[in-house]
Structure 1
Amino acid sequence: MTGAAGDEVATALARAHREEWARVVATLARRYGDLDLAEEAAAEAFATAVERWSADGVPPAPGGWLTTTAHRKAIDRLRRERVRDDKHREALVLTDAGPPAPTGAVDDDRLRLLFTCCHPALAMPARVALTLRMVGGLTVGEIAHAFMVQPTTMGQRITRAKAKIAQARIPYRVPTAQDLPARRDGVLAVLYLIFNEGYLASSTDDGTQPIRPALTGEAIRLVRLLRQLLPDDGEVAGLLALMLLVEARRLARLDEDGGL
């Protein structure tokens, strides 16, 4: 199952296993250097999981099963497109069984993906949308609803952001130790914007609730991830502490009628 139908099935599973989604996409993006290929192969792997696991049961190592299946889907896609010279070069990774050399201050696929999605070459709205889709695993519809735009508009925004990364040859890596503090601030700004949109919606004209726990929770989850990967960074710890303090008061911000 591929295309839109496969993506819908895959993202339905991803909503329950977003950590696995982020890991699979990040691993594929590191291996193949192509966000579109990573997302499409991951979607096909999750769709296959829905079919296979329903019949055979959940495997002992679901994350490993998904990653292996997604790699196979990516390889199949590359083989089908071998007539193109650039795909010939990408297919060379099929013979590379060793891990890639670290290219930044921290060697973690998810952190590489997060910094790629939050690259300063992208406009801030594109960074936010791409981070929620590729790292957070939210569907295009969920992101569009959160930011009060049509799904087609949000889909185009994400597509343009991925195209920008490809055209500008933005490297899929964590910045060097020297550049990390400046680039880290940009990542924290994106995560803070996501949290703020959940804390108080920018618009409630369509009847959307002013507070959106799904977005604040996703922002906290991503900052926790960053905290695990950069445990000695005071700025990351400070943002996580701020979010947790604010989130702890969430239930007290609404009255019985749901008003602020």
Structure 2
Amino acid sequence: MKNARHVDICFSPALHANYHREGNLVVVIDLFRATTAIITAMANGAKSIKPVADIESALACRDNGFVVAGERNGHKLAEFDFGNSPLEFTTGRIQNKDLAITTTNGTQAFAAAQGQEAIAAALINYKAAMQYIQSGKQDVLLLCSGWTNKMNIEDTLLAGKFARDLLAEAGFYSTSDSIAIAEAMLEAAGSNWLEFILDSSPRLKGKYELLKDDMAWAMRQDIFNVVPLLKNDRLVPASEY
């Protein structure tokens, strides 16, 4: 299809090399919670956000003036200023600061996307992220952060929503079975994603008390008009979308 843009979904950073297309736009998704937290921090005034794959490198960023955020398996890391709850990143705590963040899954996806044009996407910036994607000319790879390099439900649902809405427009197409898998999950979930996720995921059902406030925040759509864009090793606000 001449000048049409291919859309694909990669369910895990571990599979990224198999889905990468030269020059594609990578849309990183970690609904619960990394991209939701990153978008919230940037909307509340963070100057830049550096996603870091490992704990030691994140802590080392303090020497360069960063505040640091980190979690493993949902829990805030000792010695860190923040965990990974988006509700922690209030304007009073994050405005005009450079933030380094390391998480179990989301920052691993950004590590896979290094050297490519990449943005952070979630429901809370859905419209803005869609506008950014639509404004470009590249093929689009929706990269789910998943869970410990495995597929998860929540990121697949959001990737499926992006794919469905893009493919409803002229100028986008797909040849990928991943799209069909995500669309089938969307159909099964209906309008109540959170109920479907908790019914379907023992992992998240077991963490509901820990994550319920963050989940409620993450399920709100279009509350921020900011798109974090990866420039070199930092996320900064995209100037146009």
Relative contact order, CA 8 A, sep 6+: which one is greater? 2
Specify which structure has the higher proportion of strand: 2
* Shorter-chain TM-score above 0.5: no
State the TM-score, normalized to the length of structure 2: 0.28
Specify which structure has the higher proportion of helix: 1
State the TM-score, normalized to the length of structure 1: 0.27
Which structure is larger by alpha-carbon Rg, 1 or 2? 1
